[in-house]
Amino acid sequence: MEDTVSQPVTAALLVIGDEILSGRTKDKNIGFVADYLTALGIDLLEVRVVPDIEERIVEAVNALRAAYTYVFTSGGIGPTHDDITADSMAKAFGVTIDVDPRARAILEAHYGPDQLTTARLRMARIPAGADLIENKVSKAPGFRIGNVHVMAGVPSIMQAMMDALAPTLKTGRKMLSQALDADLPESRLAERLAQIQKDHPDTMIGSYPRTNDGRFTTQIVVRSRDQHTLDAAADAVATAIRETLATL
């Protein structure tokens, strides 16, 4: 009866930028967006990182926007020649792009009309039909076109844009999770975990090996959208950990 409400809302993140692929800049946006969407009850199901090449951006955004409820992008919306995200989005959606009066007004108010250089005006280029996304940090807006949300790459600005756009998102039934730490290498738990996963098909049970001071330990994460389902599987995992430790 509540199928509409509990229908998963899905998302992909597209990170745009040569600097991430060369290693010069270490990405900080993937983890932030993953946490943010998980907290909202939106399932992030794919991330892609592509270079500052129009054809690659167009191809990626068209693949992702067809596959997921929402796409979020970061990077490439600044004033310089290598900022080609806005033009790439216009191309992906087959719409025109020009200086947007709303974006221009925001930049004029911020810089003053006489300081609104050609370069800065580039940041007001918005594809036709897009809505602006507010940027409280440095003013130049992001935009939403179709189901794609185009944001800056600088983490502080990207985060402010996520806060600005979040109220417009439909959210799903939140994925609940419980983590259990086992002072065991994961191979010791593997057979029991496989059985527990079979016995609790409406959960997702992940096993994540860790190294602590050279010893192998494991974190088991149980996920479900239903609290009772989650609790039952987590109890079974806790029992398996306890009983396995007792045999050592």
Q: Rule CB under 8 A: which residues touch a second copy? A: 15, 18-27, 30-31, 34-38, 43-52, 56, 78-83, 117-120, 122-123, 137-138, 154, 156, 175, 177, 179, 186-191, 193-194, 197, 204-211, 216, 221, 223
Q: Where are the beta strands (DSSP E) in 194-239?
A: 204-212, 215-224
In terms of CB distance, is 98 or 191 closer to a second copy? Answer: 191
**Phi and psi of 201, rounded to 5°?**
-65, -20
In terms of CB distance, is 91 or 120 closer to a second copy? Answer: 120
Quick check: 116 and 140 in contact, CB under 8 A? no
Least CB distance to a second copy at residue 80 (A): 4
Quick check: 161 and 75 in contact, CB under 8 A? no
- Nearest-5° Cα angle at 155, 150 to 161: 45
In terms of CB distance, is 36 or 147 closer to a second copy? Answer: 36
Least CB distance to a second copy at residue 126 (A): 17
Least CB distance to a second copy at residue 1 (A): 28
Listed in sequence order, the residues at least 6 apart from 117 whose beta carbon sits closer than 8 Å to its beta carbon are none
Q: Where are the beta strands (DSSP E) in the chain?
A: 9-16, 42-50, 70-74, 97-99, 125-127, 131-133, 142-145, 148-151, 176-182, 204-212, 215-224
In terms of CB distance, is 63 or 95 closer to a second copy? Answer: 63
Least CB distance to a second copy at residue 43 (A): 8
In terms of CB distance, is 95 or 175 closer to a second copy? Answer: 175
Least CB distance to a second copy at residue 129 (A): 26
